[in-house]
A and B are shown apart, each in its own frame.
Chain A
Amino acid sequence: MSANAVEIRGLEKRFPSFQLGPLDLTVPRGAIYGFVGPNGAGKTTTIDLVFGMGAKDAGSIRVLGLDHERDETAMKRQVAYVAPDLYFQPWGRVGKVIQFVRGFYPTWDHAYGERLMQALDLKADDRVRTLSFGGRIKLALLVALAWKPALLVLDEPTAGLDAISKQAIFSELLAAVQDEQRSVLISSHGLADVERFADHLGMIKNGRLLFEGTTADVIARFRMVDLLTAESLRVGEHPGVFVQRQDGRRSRVLLDLQRTPIERLAAIGATPVADAPVTLEELFIALGR
């Protein structure tokens, strides 16, 4: 059995105005992996390619040890997908969506499905077309969780949701992943949610992965540092140094300690005067610019 839930290696997809990759991404088995990045960075494209919604130009994708193309059906029997744009409307009622989907999964748990309906405030005879945005996400989550998938992939599940709906969704998600063999890949703009929920993080920008690792490692890897430099020094040209603000000789930079340790700053003519840990949101804004 593969140690990783998702292994993406050298993935590339070219569009006329955008190129994804080459991208390497690893979601360890049992991890809750927050996949973050600014709009248009390639999060949805990456997830779409995992499910075959579009063909990759290069690279490989293995999910739970299975090749996503050759073992497509076997893979999809173990992987659930939740996204706001899943179109359930032709089914008319919530109950009919459930009736349709459960036939694909022998592991469908009726009792758990009914409990989820209650927890997510859905009814079998609710009309799909009159469900709110949050209601549609809840429905997608219900049909994804009720058969207890080994891997749950969520693409922007909380975008546009109110705090109460988010709470309901995250509490169900957390309850569902108590089993440590179950993995979650969640792409989201809701950084506070991801920070609270995910134990692994990966950030993508312009189709390239900037970093990935456990949340603690990622947060520890970066520091916000105030520097004094010579005015002519272009500190941002050094690897792992991301200038946030520059005011004469004073600069505030985000420092990637893996690429440039604080001790090396003196060697390039910069004197650190203060440094502080970063929050995920600060990291996202600093790197996403």
Chain B
Amino acid sequence: MSFTGLSIAVLWWFWWTKVESADLLMPFGYSMGMAFQLGPQLAMRYMPRAIWYLPISRREAWRALWLFSTAGVTLLTTLAKATAMIAHRGPEPGGAARLMLSSVYDFTYSGIGCALVAIVMRPRPARGPRRQLAAAAAGCAEVAIPFGAVFGFAGIGQFRVGLPTYWSEFTPLAGLGLAAGLTVAISSYFHVPVPIRPVTSTASAGANHADRRPDRSPLTGLPRLLAHEYVLAMLVAGCLIAGSGAVVLIVAHVGSPSDVAAFVQMELGRIDGASLPAGEGADPFAVIVLVACFAAAIAARFPAMMRHLRALPIGTARLQTLLIAWPIAIWAHNWIVFIVLHYLLVGERVHSLHGAAFIGVSGISALIVAVSLRQSGPQQTFVFSSLLVAVPMLLFVGFPPAWMSAGGGIFGFVGAVALNRAALRRSSTYRHSGLPIAWPLIR
């Protein structure tokens, strides 16, 4: 409840500061992101399991939840925006129409989020190609849900997604898109959840011995954990970069392979000199790459696995090292990838390795991992979402000077070590779940 109140207050403040701006795309996107976060992402993701045991049908439970996650949340965002607009300038001509359009977007976007939740919850056919298809769709939906709010907060404004902000700007194509979105949103209302069937209860009478046998790959223990989390980190970063890259290329009408190569070379060229402290010229793709790198660095599920890790023969010092070194390793990996790509595609070595910036981003990432170790699942979602919104701002206010980056990074490392040390000594650290990246929505 307090989180919802805080979110609505932040939305109110954001609209209050942006209401005079001629460009309303960013406030519209921010409101959509907030609706998505409060509705499908939080209300549905953290829905108490007990709801399914209430003396109401699953259909009714889903519909009540859907109504809250779409209409209820839209009502909250609309109230916040309306009061912000009135508080700022008083009622103005056309204001109500714009407010209504923003609310339609909030409703549609959160409804699409509900559809994604429904896709994740849909039972899969027992076998055959339809099972693979359903599994792939559910996997995509699971990955998309955590990023739905972030795309609203930052992506819509940054990518200049062709969203009309006045009713008069609607083209037939935009109208068709909105109608399609509304159709998807409303059709998700008719979803009927089916309980997940435990595998073990149906397993095994005729199961053969071979499928009980786990493989004996040499990759096991701690190296396996690192490989496992590395795959997740690359998946998170890869999906963000590939997805946003595709949107950027389409929006920028970059189609031919040579144009794509030129685009990539241009982006890689930013590594040198004037590129990183980009100031005003930062383009959306650079923002997304930075966000993706941060997301990859903090996405490891160590906090959620902490109880099990603590029971294994891994010493406290090693756990501490793992928590600090992991973000450094992921950033180092990303740094090397960019430097190698620069060499291969631009044809020359980078002029600077940007060591101070590396220390800065690694230290901040380690600090965020340390903070999330002390948070429960919903709080971690907030930390994660806030980070993904806050980090791109670095590119707009300009990267800090080297001494500040390095100093901030060292401060981050020192803070992370102290926080981790304290968190590993707290009983509560081992009693809560972690960041909901690619998690099933209903366990």
Contacts and interface: CB of A to CB of B under 8 A. Distances in A.
B200 A135 contact: yes
B308 A86 contact: yes
A72 B439 CA distance: 32
Contact of B199 (A54, A80, A114, A130): A130
Contacts of B223: 103
B347 interface: no
B141 to A, nearest CB: 15
B304 A90 contact: yes
Contacts, number: 140
B214 to A, nearest CB: 4
A103 B218 CA distance: 8
B212 A138 contact: no
Contact of A54 (B204, B217, B427, B439): B427
Given A76-B313, A86-B307, A126-B199, A121 B301 contact: no
A133 B433 CA distance: 17
Contact of B213 (A114, A131, A134, A138): A114
Nearest to B208: A123
Given A76-B311, A76-B312, A87-B308, A131 B212 contact: no
Nearest to B222: A103
Contacts of A51: 310-311
Given A87-B307, A87-B433, A102 B220 contact: yes
Given A77-B313, A114-B213, A118-B212, A138 B307 contact: no
B426 interface: yes
A110 interface: yes
Q: Which of B199, B200, B221 has the most CB of A within 10 A?
A: B200
B433 A121 contact: no
Contacts of A105: 313
Interface in A99-113: 99-105, 110, 113
A271 interface: no
Q: Which of A88, A102, A125, A130 has the most CB of B within 10 A?
A: A130
Nearest to A88: B308
Given A103-B221, A135-B198, A117 B212 contact: yes
Given A54-B426, A103-B224, A130 B198 contact: yes
Contacts of B132: none
Nearest to A94: B214
B430 A110 contact: no
B425 A131 contact: no
B126 interface: no
A85 interface: yes
B211 interface: yes
Q: Which of B198, B424, B431 has the most CB of A within 10 A?
A: B198
Interface in A119-173: 121-127, 129-132, 134-135, 138
Contact of B200 (A45, A72, A122, A125): A122
B211 A124 contact: yes
A124 B199 contact: no
Contacts of B304: 87, 89-90
B50 to A, nearest CB: 15
Contacts of B215: 95, 99, 124
Interface in A42-95: 45, 48, 51-55, 72-74, 76-77, 80-81, 83, 85-91, 94-95
A98 interface: yes
Nearest to B218: A103
B274 interface: no
Interface in B406-443: 424-427, 429-431, 433-434, 439-440, 443
Contacts of A117: 212-213
Given A88-B308, A90-B301, A135-B200, A73 B220 contact: no
Contacts of B204: 121, 123
A117 B207 CA distance: 12
Contacts of A55: 425-426
B197 A104 contact: no
Q: Which of A45, A135, A138 has the most CB of B within 10 A?
A: A135
A237 to B, nearest CB: 36
B127 interface: no
A53 to B, nearest CB: 4
A47 B137 CA distance: 42
B315 interface: yes
A99 B219 contact: yes
Given A51-B311, A126-B200, A138-B200, A89 B439 contact: yes
5 contacts: A55-B425, A73-B315, A124-B211, A129-B440, A131-B200
Given A85-B307, A95-B215, 6 more contacts: A53-B307, A54-B425, A54-B429, A99-B220, A103-B222, A123-B203
